Amino acid sequence: MVQHQPALDRSFTALADPTRRAILLRLGRSEASLGELSSGFEMTLTGLKKHVQILEEAGLVATKKVGRVRHCKLGPRRLEDVTKWMTSYRNLLEERYDHLEAFLQHTKGTP
Amino acid sequence: MTSAAKRYEHLLSTPSDRQIRVERIFNAPRERVWQALTNPQLVAQWWGRGNQLVIERMEVERGGHWRFVEHAPEGAQGFEGRYREVKPPERVVQTFEWDGMPGHVIVETVTLEDLGDGRTRLVNVSLFHTTEERDGMLSSGMEQGMAESYAALDRLLLR
Protein backbone atom coordinates (compact mmCIF):
# COMPACT_ATOMS: atom_id res chain seq x y z
CA MET A 1 0.00 0.00 0.00
CA VAL A 2 2.71 2.43 1.00
CA GLN A 3 4.59 2.09 -2.28
CA HIS A 4 1.54 3.42 -4.15
CA GLN A 5 1.54 6.62 -2.17
CA PRO A 6 2.64 9.27 -4.68
CA ALA A 7 0.25 7.83 -7.24
CA LEU A 8 -2.48 7.75 -4.64
CA ASP A 9 -1.90 11.41 -3.88
CA ARG A 10 -2.25 12.29 -7.52
CA SER A 11 -5.33 10.14 -7.89
CA PHE A 12 -7.01 11.75 -4.92
CA THR A 13 -6.31 15.22 -6.23
CA ALA A 14 -7.50 14.21 -9.68
CA LEU A 15 -10.71 12.79 -8.28
CA ALA A 16 -11.40 15.70 -5.95
CA ASP A 17 -13.13 17.57 -8.75
CA PRO A 18 -16.61 16.59 -9.96
CA THR A 19 -15.87 17.69 -13.53
CA ARG A 20 -12.91 15.32 -13.65
CA ARG A 21 -15.01 12.50 -12.29
CA ALA A 22 -17.59 13.26 -14.95
CA ILE A 23 -14.85 13.17 -17.62
CA LEU A 24 -13.89 9.69 -16.42
CA LEU A 25 -17.50 8.59 -16.59
CA ARG A 26 -17.80 9.97 -20.10
CA LEU A 27 -14.60 8.24 -21.23
CA GLY A 28 -15.84 5.03 -19.66
CA ARG A 29 -18.58 5.08 -22.27
CA SER A 30 -16.25 5.62 -25.23
CA GLU A 31 -13.07 7.36 -26.28
CA ALA A 32 -13.42 11.03 -27.21
CA SER A 33 -11.34 13.85 -28.59
CA LEU A 34 -10.55 16.92 -26.50
CA GLY A 35 -12.88 18.91 -28.75
CA GLU A 36 -15.76 16.50 -28.21
CA LEU A 37 -15.24 16.58 -24.47
CA SER A 38 -15.06 20.35 -24.38
CA SER A 39 -18.34 20.80 -26.25
CA GLY A 40 -19.97 18.09 -24.14
CA PHE A 41 -18.98 19.88 -20.95
CA GLU A 42 -19.67 23.37 -22.32
CA MET A 43 -16.19 24.33 -21.30
CA THR A 44 -13.38 26.11 -23.11
CA LEU A 45 -10.77 23.88 -24.69
CA THR A 46 -8.13 25.42 -22.42
CA GLY A 47 -10.15 24.71 -19.27
CA LEU A 48 -10.84 21.17 -20.35
CA LYS A 49 -7.21 20.50 -21.31
CA LYS A 50 -6.18 21.38 -17.79
CA HIS A 51 -8.55 18.83 -16.29
CA VAL A 52 -7.46 16.15 -18.75
CA GLN A 53 -3.81 16.88 -18.00
CA ILE A 54 -4.36 16.36 -14.27
CA LEU A 55 -6.17 13.09 -14.99
CA GLU A 56 -3.36 12.02 -17.30
CA GLU A 57 -0.67 12.78 -14.71
CA ALA A 58 -2.58 10.55 -12.29
CA GLY A 59 -2.65 7.79 -14.90
CA LEU A 60 -6.44 7.81 -14.94
CA VAL A 61 -6.60 9.03 -18.54
CA ALA A 62 -4.34 8.36 -21.53
CA THR A 63 -4.18 10.67 -24.55
CA LYS A 64 -2.74 10.28 -28.02
CA LYS A 65 -2.33 12.91 -30.70
CA VAL A 66 -3.41 11.84 -34.17
CA GLY A 67 -2.85 14.60 -36.69
CA ARG A 68 -4.32 17.71 -35.10
CA VAL A 69 -6.72 15.88 -32.85
CA ARG A 70 -5.94 14.65 -29.34
CA HIS A 71 -7.83 11.47 -28.44
CA CYS A 72 -8.59 10.63 -24.82
CA LYS A 73 -9.39 7.31 -23.22
CA LEU A 74 -9.28 5.73 -19.77
CA GLY A 75 -5.70 5.34 -18.56
CA PRO A 76 -3.80 2.39 -17.13
CA ARG A 77 -4.40 3.29 -13.50
CA ARG A 78 -7.61 1.99 -12.08
CA LEU A 79 -9.49 3.31 -9.13
CA GLU A 80 -8.76 0.18 -7.15
CA ASP A 81 -5.53 1.79 -5.92
CA VAL A 82 -7.38 4.83 -4.66
CA THR A 83 -9.94 2.74 -2.85
CA LYS A 84 -7.36 0.39 -1.32
CA TRP A 85 -6.53 2.78 1.51
CA MET A 86 -10.21 3.37 2.17
CA THR A 87 -10.81 -0.37 2.37
CA SER A 88 -7.91 -0.92 4.79
CA TYR A 89 -9.17 1.90 6.95
CA ARG A 90 -12.68 0.49 6.97
CA ASN A 91 -11.43 -2.92 8.06
CA LEU A 92 -9.44 -1.28 10.84
CA LEU A 93 -12.51 0.62 12.00
CA GLU A 94 -14.72 -2.48 11.97
CA GLU A 95 -12.11 -4.41 13.93
CA ARG A 96 -11.81 -1.65 16.54
CA TYR A 97 -15.57 -1.56 17.01
CA ASP A 98 -15.63 -5.34 17.41
CA HIS A 99 -13.20 -4.86 20.28
CA LEU A 100 -15.26 -1.98 21.68
CA GLU A 101 -18.33 -4.19 21.62
CA ALA A 102 -16.50 -6.96 23.46
CA PHE A 103 -15.16 -4.43 25.96
CA LEU A 104 -18.63 -3.03 26.68
CA GLN A 105 -19.99 -6.55 27.11
CA HIS A 106 -17.12 -7.55 29.34
CA THR A 107 -17.44 -4.50 31.60
CA LYS A 108 -21.23 -4.63 31.81
CA GLY A 109 -22.59 -3.70 35.23
CA THR A 110 -19.66 -1.46 36.05
CA PRO A 111 -20.38 2.25 36.18
CA MET B 1 -23.76 1.05 -19.97
CA THR B 2 -20.32 -0.42 -20.61
CA SER B 3 -18.47 -2.17 -17.81
CA ALA B 4 -15.88 0.62 -17.81
CA ALA B 5 -18.55 3.24 -17.22
CA LYS B 6 -20.01 1.10 -14.46
CA ARG B 7 -16.64 1.09 -12.77
CA TYR B 8 -16.76 4.87 -12.46
CA GLU B 9 -20.46 5.21 -11.81
CA HIS B 10 -20.16 5.22 -8.03
CA LEU B 11 -17.83 8.22 -8.26
CA LEU B 12 -20.70 10.47 -9.14
CA SER B 13 -22.61 9.90 -5.97
CA THR B 14 -20.92 12.78 -4.14
CA PRO B 15 -20.08 13.09 -1.34
CA SER B 16 -20.25 9.38 -0.62
CA ASP B 17 -17.44 8.59 -3.05
CA ARG B 18 -14.86 9.62 -0.50
CA GLN B 19 -16.83 8.69 2.52
CA ILE B 20 -17.12 5.59 4.63
CA ARG B 21 -20.05 5.07 6.96
CA VAL B 22 -19.98 2.50 9.71
CA GLU B 23 -22.94 1.94 12.01
CA ARG B 24 -23.05 -0.20 15.14
CA ILE B 25 -25.60 -0.80 17.86
CA PHE B 26 -24.06 -1.49 21.24
CA ASN B 27 -25.87 -3.16 24.07
CA ALA B 28 -24.83 -0.42 26.51
CA PRO B 29 -26.21 2.96 27.60
CA ARG B 30 -24.92 6.03 25.77
CA GLU B 31 -22.99 7.38 28.74
CA ARG B 32 -20.96 4.16 28.95
CA VAL B 33 -20.21 4.20 25.24
CA TRP B 34 -19.21 7.85 25.49
CA GLN B 35 -16.85 7.05 28.35
CA ALA B 36 -15.34 4.14 26.41
CA LEU B 37 -14.60 6.53 23.53
CA THR B 38 -13.28 9.50 25.50
CA ASN B 39 -11.73 8.23 28.73
CA PRO B 40 -8.07 7.32 28.03
CA GLN B 41 -8.05 4.56 30.64
CA LEU B 42 -10.97 2.86 28.90
CA VAL B 43 -9.77 3.56 25.35
CA ALA B 44 -6.50 1.80 26.22
CA GLN B 45 -8.48 -1.39 26.84
CA TRP B 46 -10.02 -1.83 23.39
CA TRP B 47 -8.63 0.58 20.76
CA GLY B 48 -5.49 -1.46 20.17
CA ARG B 49 -7.47 -4.45 18.86
CA GLY B 50 -5.74 -6.77 21.29
CA ASN B 51 -2.35 -5.11 20.83
CA GLN B 52 -0.73 -3.08 23.55
CA LEU B 53 -1.77 0.56 23.17
CA VAL B 54 0.27 3.53 24.32
CA ILE B 55 -1.75 6.72 24.57
CA GLU B 56 0.86 9.41 24.12
CA ARG B 57 -1.64 12.25 24.00
CA MET B 58 -5.37 12.51 24.38
CA GLU B 59 -6.75 15.99 24.95
CA VAL B 60 -10.48 15.53 24.47
CA GLU B 61 -11.47 19.13 23.74
CA ARG B 62 -11.84 21.33 20.71
CA GLY B 63 -8.39 21.78 19.13
CA GLY B 64 -6.84 19.12 21.40
CA HIS B 65 -4.37 16.57 20.04
CA TRP B 66 -4.45 12.80 20.25
CA ARG B 67 -1.73 10.30 19.45
CA PHE B 68 -1.98 6.54 19.99
CA VAL B 69 0.68 3.95 19.23
CA GLU B 70 -0.27 0.32 18.76
CA HIS B 71 2.48 -2.15 19.59
CA ALA B 72 1.90 -5.30 17.53
CA PRO B 73 4.36 -8.23 17.32
CA GLU B 74 5.31 -7.12 13.80
CA GLY B 75 6.01 -3.54 14.82
CA ALA B 76 4.54 -0.28 16.11
CA GLN B 77 1.90 1.76 14.32
CA GLY B 78 1.21 5.38 15.20
CA PHE B 79 -2.09 7.19 14.71
CA GLU B 80 -2.88 10.78 15.48
CA GLY B 81 -5.11 13.75 14.93
CA ARG B 82 -6.94 16.64 16.51
CA TYR B 83 -10.35 17.03 17.99
CA ARG B 84 -12.50 19.48 16.08
CA GLU B 85 -15.69 19.19 18.05
CA VAL B 86 -16.52 17.49 21.33
CA LYS B 87 -20.14 17.45 22.46
CA PRO B 88 -20.74 15.01 25.32
CA PRO B 89 -22.31 12.53 25.25
CA GLU B 90 -23.35 12.54 21.62
CA ARG B 91 -20.83 13.80 19.10
CA VAL B 92 -17.09 13.91 18.38
CA VAL B 93 -15.48 15.23 15.22
CA GLN B 94 -11.78 14.51 14.91
CA THR B 95 -9.07 14.12 12.31
CA PHE B 96 -7.29 10.80 11.85
CA GLU B 97 -3.90 10.22 10.28
CA TRP B 98 -1.84 7.06 10.15
CA ASP B 99 1.97 7.38 10.20
CA GLY B 100 2.14 4.91 7.33
CA MET B 101 0.05 7.10 5.06
CA PRO B 102 1.48 10.60 5.43
CA GLY B 103 -0.31 13.22 3.40
CA HIS B 104 -3.72 11.69 3.94
CA VAL B 105 -6.16 12.86 6.52
CA ILE B 106 -9.56 11.50 7.43
CA VAL B 107 -12.20 13.57 9.18
CA GLU B 108 -14.24 11.29 11.41
CA THR B 109 -17.62 12.30 12.74
CA VAL B 110 -18.88 9.95 15.43
CA THR B 111 -22.41 10.33 16.77
CA LEU B 112 -24.05 8.37 19.55
CA GLU B 113 -27.80 7.99 19.68
CA ASP B 114 -29.60 6.83 22.82
CA LEU B 115 -32.06 4.21 21.63
CA GLY B 116 -34.01 4.47 24.90
CA ASP B 117 -33.83 0.77 25.74
CA GLY B 118 -30.34 0.67 27.18
CA ARG B 119 -28.76 0.40 23.76
CA THR B 120 -26.79 2.97 21.79
CA ARG B 121 -26.43 3.48 18.07
CA LEU B 122 -22.96 4.64 16.96
CA VAL B 123 -22.53 6.12 13.51
CA ASN B 124 -19.04 6.87 12.19
CA VAL B 125 -18.80 8.87 8.99
CA SER B 126 -15.24 9.20 7.73
CA LEU B 127 -14.34 11.57 4.94
CA PHE B 128 -11.03 11.12 3.09
CA HIS B 129 -8.82 14.03 2.08
CA THR B 130 -5.24 14.71 1.17
CA THR B 131 -3.51 17.07 3.60
CA GLU B 132 -3.00 19.39 0.66
CA GLU B 133 -6.75 19.62 0.23
CA ARG B 134 -7.33 20.08 3.93
CA ASP B 135 -4.87 22.97 4.02
CA GLY B 136 -6.16 24.52 0.82
CA MET B 137 -9.81 24.14 1.67
CA LEU B 138 -10.15 27.64 3.04
CA SER B 139 -8.37 29.28 0.16
CA SER B 140 -10.50 31.79 -1.65
CA GLY B 141 -12.28 31.03 -4.85
CA MET B 142 -12.86 27.40 -4.01
CA GLU B 143 -16.58 27.72 -3.50
CA GLN B 144 -17.02 29.41 -6.84
CA GLY B 145 -14.94 26.69 -8.49
CA MET B 146 -17.00 23.97 -6.84
CA ALA B 147 -20.27 25.57 -7.95
CA GLU B 148 -19.04 25.71 -11.54
CA SER B 149 -17.90 22.10 -11.43
CA TYR B 150 -21.23 20.94 -10.07
CA ALA B 151 -23.05 22.93 -12.74
CA ALA B 152 -20.98 21.13 -15.37
CA LEU B 153 -21.78 17.81 -13.76
CA ASP B 154 -25.49 18.65 -13.67
CA ARG B 155 -25.41 19.43 -17.37
CA LEU B 156 -23.67 16.16 -18.10
CA LEU B 157 -26.17 14.14 -16.12
CA LEU B 158 -29.12 15.81 -17.82
CA ARG B 159 -27.92 14.84 -21.27
Enumerate the residues of chain B whose CB falls inside 8 A of the CB of residue A25. Answer: 5, 8-9, 11-12, 156
pTM: 0.60
pLDDT confidence of A39, banded at 50, 70, 90? confident
Mean pLDDT calculated for residue range A22-34? 83
Q: What are phi and psi of B70, to 5 degrees?
A: -95, 125
Q: Which residues pair with B53 in a beta bridge?
A: B70
Report in angstroms the alpha-carbon separations of A96 from B38, B62, B70.
Answer: 14, 23, 12
Q: Higher confidence at residue A6 or residue A44? A: A44
Asked if the model's pLDDT at residue A18 lies above 50, the reply is: yes
Q: Strand, helix or coil at B28?
A: coil
CA distance B123 to B118: 17
Q: Strand, helix or coil at B103?
A: coil
Average pLDDT value over all residues in chain A: 80
pLDDT at position B5, please?
43
Enumerate the residues of chain A whose CB falls inside 8 A of the CB of residue B155. Answer: 41-42
pLDDT at position A21, please?
77
pLDDT confidence of A77, banded at 50, 70, 90? low
Size of interface A-B (CB pairs under 8 A): 138
Asked if the model's pLDDT at residue A5 lies above 70, the reply is: no
The pLDDT profile of chain B, 159 residues, written as one tens digit per residue, is 344 444 444 444 334 567 888 999 999 999 999 999 999 999 999 999 989 999 999 999 999 999 999 988 777 888 999 999 999 999 999 999 887 776 678 899 999 999 999 999 999 999 887 655 555 543 434 444 444 554 555 455 544
- ipTM value of the model? 0.74
Q: Angle, to 10 degrees, between the axis of helix A18-29 and the axis of helix A5-15?
A: 100
Contact A17 B7 (CB under 8 A): no
pLDDT confidence of A19, banded at 50, 70, 90? confident
| Contact predicate B112/B90, CB 8 Å | yes
Neighbours of B156 (CB within 10 A): 19
Contact B101 A1 (CB under 8 A): yes
